[in-house]
Amino acid sequence: MLDYIKSYLDMNATPGQAGNVFWATVYIFVVFGGVSVAVMAMNWLERKALAHFQIRLGPMRVGPHGLLQPIADALKLLTKEDIIPSEADKFVFWIAPLIILCASFTVYIVIPFGPTHAITDLNIGILFMLGVSSLSVLGVVMAGWASNSHYPLIGALRSSAQMVSYEVAMGLAVVSAILMTSLNKTGTGTLSMIGIVQAQQAQQTWFLFKFFPLGFIAFGVFAIAMVAETNRAPFDLPEAESELTAGFHTEYSGLRWSLFMLGEYAAMIAVSSIAVTLWLGGWMRPFPNALAGETWDLVFSLFPGFTFLALAVFCFIGVARMPKHPYFRIQTIGLAGFGAVLALIGLILFAPPVRDRIFDIYWFCIKVAGFMYLYIWYRATFPRYRFDQLMKVGWKVLLPIAVGVLILTAVMGVIF
Amino acid sequence: MTDPTTYLSHLELGQPDKTFLDSNELIINMGPQHPATHGVLRVILKLDGEKVLGTECVIGYLHRGVEKIAEHRTYTMFNPYVDRMDYVAAVSNGLGYCEAVEKILNVQAPPRANYIRVILAELNRLASHMLWLGTHALDIGAMTPLFYTFRDREEILKIFEKYCGARLTTHAFRIGGCQYETYEGFEDDVKKFLDFVPPKIDEYEELLTTNRIWVERTKGVGYISGEDCIALGVTGPVLRASGVKWDLRKAQPYAAYSDFDFEIPIGQNGDTYDRYIVRMQEMRQSLRIIRQAIDRIPEGPIMAKIPKVIKPPVGEIYHSIEAPKGELGYFIVSDGSTQPYRIRVRPPSFVNLQALDLMVRGQLVADVIAVIGTLDIVLGEVDR
């Protein structure tokens, strides 16, 4: 048994490539569980960060600093009455959230958290991701249609138009990044997610800085399009709260509604992963060439442990600042316990065998987390675009830029 | 049961189609329970896709019969009721009512009382504009300014609370002057506030004025010309943003406004962006007025000599003031008894709301929200 695990750990391929069904299943559970936890954490973080942008405290009551709030929310949503409007198309109404959820979770099959840390490595990985993630628009349209109500219908129409038109710009930006992968001796590019990162490794640069500023612009186009693609502020028209109450999921409540939320946040993480993979060097640590060498490798591999220790320190500061009232005792103990767990994880991450195996996952997650923070930041800062302006930005601004960048990238590729 | 409003006049709604999908036109009900209709306004929208073909405002969900109540109360007893109309600018409502009754009684509030009135009314204008800005920005999708404006509005409400014990429905003034002398430290509080607020207004402007999305969302949206404003009786910042320099504080000065030096900001384009700019400038002008008033506030009595039982002579009077939202007028008919025979309020929100249909026709659904926000209506005042 131990030998079996050990033999796997020393393997140099993803479980999918190795054809190992058992490990692939384990990976699927780990990744999906991890994403679900990340969504809950994101839920808490968004509320807290947004609150602090807006000089509020955010959730403070459920657990220390509202840490248990996502769990309380989940429980509340699970126990709510499941309402299907009597005039709704029941089957379509029932299946729409599932489609969104499946679409946004399926893409995680090809996301490379590390050279060997992916469920599988499809040779058409990026194509698969874009294809599957755009299926979620189907769920949105079905939800809006099946509700048989005006606001959801308008929301669904907006959403489908928006997602379809931003996919074009997004696709073209992706193509220019893929074009960059073919800039090697043999001239063959790759669509494999792992291959794309390895191409960046081979070319000694993140594609963000390739042919500066071309890679940068392509990344910018993608970064804007991906916000629109996931229906987030400032492109959150389909669920524009002040206009359409809740857009396409107005009629949904309880568990079904939470599936939409889960799908939305999972999709946000998924598209951020695409951006990280294509332009930000995926799992690679920063400055792999400028700060190369054994020492720097060691320094950067200590980052994960230090991150967790820093989080633990924040917890302990929180403990010290807790009011010294008996009423807060349980919360204080809970926060201290949480800090202790984080510190323990941090210490475990310092152990060399663990350190070497997770530091690629760490760098990938940190980059994705940066994008998640940007999502919250956008939401706190920007007003919402109007529908026609949104279309204008998509077709008249982003699309020409994306085409231009693509052509220029091709030209540069031929010249150099 | 068919909704009676489906038969309403100019929308030509007629019999509803079998399903709304059979026609290109979509009739949706915005409100009375809707996050962006500022209370309980109900707007029936006739849409072609996203384009607005027509609107119909249905009001009255907050009708409390304020004007009828007045007929069964003495003049003094009715005073607190007016605070409940425009509850975000209660001081202005009280000021208008007290001055109207003073006018029919033919008494003058003493100068010190007038100065206190101006200070509080201008503070209230700031509070009202701050609330407007926050909710308007929220409607257009910018969440954050709401919390900033509420934080700063809180300082104003604190001054009100210290002055008269109430934060919103202040009942700050009495017929003939003010009930309360300013509290110890009132001037310091106001001066501190005057230094505190300008950077905050800069902060709001920083978030919005040059924000690309904000400009795109507001420029050219909800256009109304000066002539149309006058024809519809629209007043206040909406009128001024259309280029008409009309402000009752200058046109027919009341209270102590003739003593102060201030400007009337006007716009040119009559769109949502100009109305935003006009209100932002008005906030700065209000600060200017308050600064002058607090520097020059005279000593003296705060209450004129008025009879214990107020019995105005037979007659009628109309008195209007520049409330934050526009011209707020009181028409009082007295039959010589202790109770008014009839009071009619000319609320700015109610009249301004008429312009909604004109402003949004042919525009998009999202613009309806922007325009409702920019009209700065308070449903308590619309329905009374």
Residue % of chain B over a pLDDT of 70 = 94
For residue B1, pLDDT over 50 is answered with: no
* B358 and B224 co-located in one domain: yes
* B168 and B137 co-located in one domain: yes
CB < 8 Å & 24+ apart, contacts of B262-269: B262/B288, B262/B289, B262/B292, B264/B240, B265/B240, B266/B240, B266/B241, B267/B240, B267/B241, B267/B242, B267/B243, B268/B243, B269/B219, B269/B220, B269/B223, B269/B241
Cβ pair B325, B349 in contact under 8 A? yes
* B152 and B277 co-located in one domain: yes
Tell whether omega for the bond before A234 is within 30 degrees of 0, i.e. cis: yes
* B54 and B166 co-located in one domain: no
3-class secondary-structure state, position B35: coil
| Boundary (domain end) residue, out of B36, B58, B80 | B58
- Rounded to whole angstroms, the Cα distance separating B307 from B315 reads 18
Structure tokens at B275: 């109305």
Give the closest of B26, B35, B49 to A150, CB-based.
B26
* B255 and B373 co-located in one domain: yes
* B173 and B29 co-located in one domain: no
Distance from the B22 Cα atom to the nearest Cα atom in chain A, whole angstroms:
13
Rounded to 5 degrees, what are φ and ψ at B67?
-65, -35
| Boundary (domain end) residue, out of B24, B41, B58 | B58
Query: Sign (positive/negative) of CA torsion B172, B176, B179, B181?
Result: positive
- Rounded to whole angstroms, the Cα distance separating A359 from A371 reads 19
Cβ pair A113, A283 in contact under 8 A? yes
Domain that holds residue B23: 4-58
Q: What is the ipTM of this complex?
A: 0.80
- Rounded to whole angstroms, the Cα distance separating B254 from A254 reads 56
Closest CA to B353 of B46, B83, B39: B39
**Amino acid occupying residue A257:** W
Structure tokens at B188: 């310091």
- Give the pLDDT score at A313: 92
Kind and range of the H or E run holding B315? strand B315-323
- pLDDT tens-place values along chain A, 416 residues long: 677 766 666 666 666 666 677 777 888 888 888 888 888 888 898 889 989 988 888 888 887 888 888 889 888 888 888 888 888 888 888 888 889 888 888 888 888 887 777 777 888 888 888 888 888 888 888 888 888 888 888 888 888 888 888 888 888 888 888 888 887 777 777 888 888 888 887 787 787 777 778 888 888 899 888 888 888 878 877 666 666 667 778 888 888 888 888 888 888 898 898 888 888 888 888 877 777 777 887 888 888 888 889 999 988 998 888 888 888 888 888 889 989 999 998 888 888 877 777 888 888 888 999 989 998 898 888 888 888 888 888 888 889 999 998 888 888 888 87
Inter-CA distances, B135 with A380, B148, B304, B339, Å? 15, 11, 39, 38
Contact B365 A242 (CB under 8 A): no
The residues of A whose Cβ lies within 8 A of any Cβ of B are 50, 53-56, 150-151, 153-154, 157-158, 233-234, 236-237, 240-245, 379-389
> How many CA atoms, within 13 angstroms, populate the side-chain half-sphere of residue B129?
28
* B29 and B168 co-located in one domain: no
The residues of B whose Cβ lies within 8 A of any Cβ of A are 20, 26, 28-29, 34-36, 47, 49-50, 137-144, 146-148, 151, 207-208, 211, 213-214, 216-217, 364-367, 369
| Assessment of whether the complete model's pTM goes beyond 0.90 | no
Closest CA to B353 of B378, B370, B328: B378
| CATH number of B302's domain | 1.10.645.10
- Count of structural domains, chain B: 2
- Rounded to whole angstroms, the Cα distance separating B271 from B241 reads 7
